Chains A and B, each alone.
Chain A
Amino acid sequence: MTWFSLLVLIPLAAVVLTASTNGWDGFWTTVSSSQTASALRLTVLEAIGVTVLNVVMGTALAWVLVRDRFWGKRVLDVVIDVPFALPTIVAGLVLLSLYGDQSPLGIDVANTRIAVFLALAFVTLPFVVRTVQPVLESLERDVEEAAASLGASRATTFRRIILPSLAPAITAGAALSFARAISEYGSLVLLSGNLPNRTEVASVRVLSYIENGNEAAAASVAAILLVVALLVIVLLDLIQRRVARRGE
Chain B
Amino acid sequence: MASDLLPPGAPVAPETAGDTTPGRRGRRPDRLREPWAVRWLLRVVTVGYVFFLVAWPTSLVFRNAFADGSQAVVDALSDESVRLALQLTAEITVWSVLINLVFGVTIAMLLVRYRFPGKRLLSALIDVPLSVSPVVVGLSLLLVYNGRDGLFGRTLENIGIQIIFSAPGMVMATTFVALPLVIREVVPVLQEIGDEQEQAARSLGANAPQTFRRITLPAIKWAVVYGVVLSLARSLGEFGAVKIVSGNIVNQSQTATLVVEQKYQNFEQTSAYVVAALLAAAAMVCLVVVALLRPKETS
Task: Give the interface of A toward B (CB within 8 A).
Answer: 1, 3-4, 6-12, 14-15, 18, 57, 60-61, 63-64, 67-68, 70, 72, 76, 78-90, 93-95, 97-99, 104, 118, 121-122, 125-127, 129-131, 133-135, 137-138, 140-141, 144-145, 148, 154, 168-169, 172-173, 176, 179-180, 182-186, 189-190, 202-203, 206-207, 210, 215, 218-219, 222, 225-226, 229-230, 232-233, 235-237, 239-240, 243, 247-248
Q: Are A133 and B276 in contact (CB under 8 A)?
A: no
Q: Which residues on the B side are within 8 Å of A93 (C-beta)? A: 61, 260, 264, 272-273, 276
Residue of A at shortest CB range from B64?
Answer: A97
Most buried by B among A6, A57, A94: A94
Task: Give the interface of B toward A (CB within 8 A).
Answer: 1-3, 5-16, 28, 31-32, 34-35, 39, 42-43, 45-47, 49-50, 52-58, 60-61, 63-64, 103, 107, 110, 122, 124-125, 127-129, 131-145, 151-152, 172, 175-176, 179, 233, 236-240, 243-244, 257-258, 260-261, 264-265, 272-273, 276, 279-280, 283-284, 286-287, 291
Task: Say how far A111's CB is from chain B's closest CB, in angstroms.
Answer: 13
Task: Say how far B222's CB is from chain A's closest CB, in angstroms.
Answer: 19
Q: Are B239 and A138 in contact (CB under 8 A)?
A: no
Which secondary structure dominates chain B's binding surface? helix
Known: A11-B140, A82-B58, A190-B264. A134 touches B131 (CB 8 A): no
Q: Are A87 and B236 in contact (CB under 8 A)?
A: yes
Residue of B at shortest CB range from A10?
Answer: B144
Q: Are B128 and A8 in contact (CB under 8 A)?
A: yes
Residue of B at shortest CB range from A129?
Answer: B2
Task: Say how far A8's CB is from chain B's closest CB, in angstroms.
Answer: 6
Q: Which residues on the B side are within 8 Å of A202 (C-beta)? A: 133
Known: A78-B287, A134-B13, A222-B133. A90 touches B61 (CB 8 A): yes
Q: CA–CA, A206 to B204, complex, Å?
A: 57
Task: Say how far A141's CB is from chain B's closest CB, in angstroms.
Answer: 7
Q: Are A104 and B139 in contact (CB under 8 A)?
A: no
Q: Which residues on the B side are within 8 Å of A182 (C-beta)? A: 133
Q: Which residues on the A side are within 8 Å of B238 (C-beta)? A: 87
Q: Which residues on the A side are within 8 Å of B3 (C-beta)? A: 130-131, 133-134
Q: Are A226 and B132 in contact (CB under 8 A)?
A: yes
Across the A-B interface, the 3 shortest Cβ-Cβ residue pairs = A236-B9, A87-B237, A183-B133
Q: CA–CA, A81 to B230, complex, Å?
A: 12
Q: Which residues on the B side are within 8 Å of A133 (C-beta)? A: 3
Which of A57, A83, A183 contacts B136, CB < 8 Å?
A183
Q: CA–CA, A142 to B7, complex, Å?
A: 30
Which of B28, B58, B63, B135 contacts A67, CB < 8 Å?
B28
Known: A8-B176, A219-B143; 19 extra A-B contacts, CB below 8 A, are A4-B103, A11-B140, A12-B136, A18-B143, A82-B54, A82-B284, A85-B283, A85-B287, A87-B283, A90-B276, A95-B57, A97-B61, A122-B53, A125-B50, A134-B13, A185-B134, A186-B239, A203-B240, A229-B128
Known: A130-B3, A172-B11. A7 touches B172 (CB 8 A): yes
Q: Are B151 and A10 in contact (CB under 8 A)?
A: yes
Which of A68, A104, A138, A148 contacts B16, CB < 8 Å?
A138
Q: Are A125 and B54 in contact (CB under 8 A)?
A: yes
Q: Which residues on the B side are within 8 Å of A240 (C-beta)? A: 8-12
Task: Say how far B5's CB is from chain A's closest CB, in angstroms.
Answer: 6
Q: CA–CA, A180 to B31, complex, Å?
A: 40
Which of A76, A84, A138 contacts B5, CB < 8 Å?
A84
Residue of B at shortest CB range from A180?
Answer: B131
Most buried by B among A11, A60, A122, A203: A11
Q: Are A207 and B2 in contact (CB under 8 A)?
A: no
Q: Are A248 and B11 in contact (CB under 8 A)?
A: no
Known: A57-B46, A68-B43. A85 touches B240 (CB 8 A): no
Known: A179-B131, A232-B131. A87 touches B279 (CB 8 A): yes
Q: CA–CA, A163 to B163, complex, Å?
A: 50
Q: Which residues on the A side are within 8 Å of B34 (C-beta)? A: 67, 154
Task: Say how far A199's CB is from chain B's closest CB, in angstroms.
Answer: 16
Q: CA–CA, A159 to B125, complex, Å?
A: 36
Q: Are A86 and B32 in contact (CB under 8 A)?
A: no
Q: Are B46 and A206 in contact (CB under 8 A)?
A: no
Q: Which residues on the B side are within 8 Å of A127 (C-beta)? A: 2, 6
Q: Are A61 and B11 in contact (CB under 8 A)?
A: no
Instruction: Give 26 pairs: A residue, B residue, CB < 8 Å, sorted on A.
Output: A1-B110, A4-B103, A6-B152, A11-B144, A15-B140, A61-B46, A63-B42, A67-B28, A84-B2, A85-B287, A86-B283, A97-B64, A99-B57, A125-B53, A131-B6, A134-B3, A141-B28, A148-B31, A176-B6, A176-B131, A183-B131, A183-B136, A210-B244, A222-B136, A233-B9, A248-B14
Known: A97-B57, A138-B16, A203-B240. A84 touches B32 (CB 8 A): no
Which of A57, A68, A94, A236 contacts B10, CB < 8 Å?
A236
Q: Are B11 and A239 in contact (CB under 8 A)?
A: yes
Q: CA–CA, A142 to B32, complex, Å?
A: 11
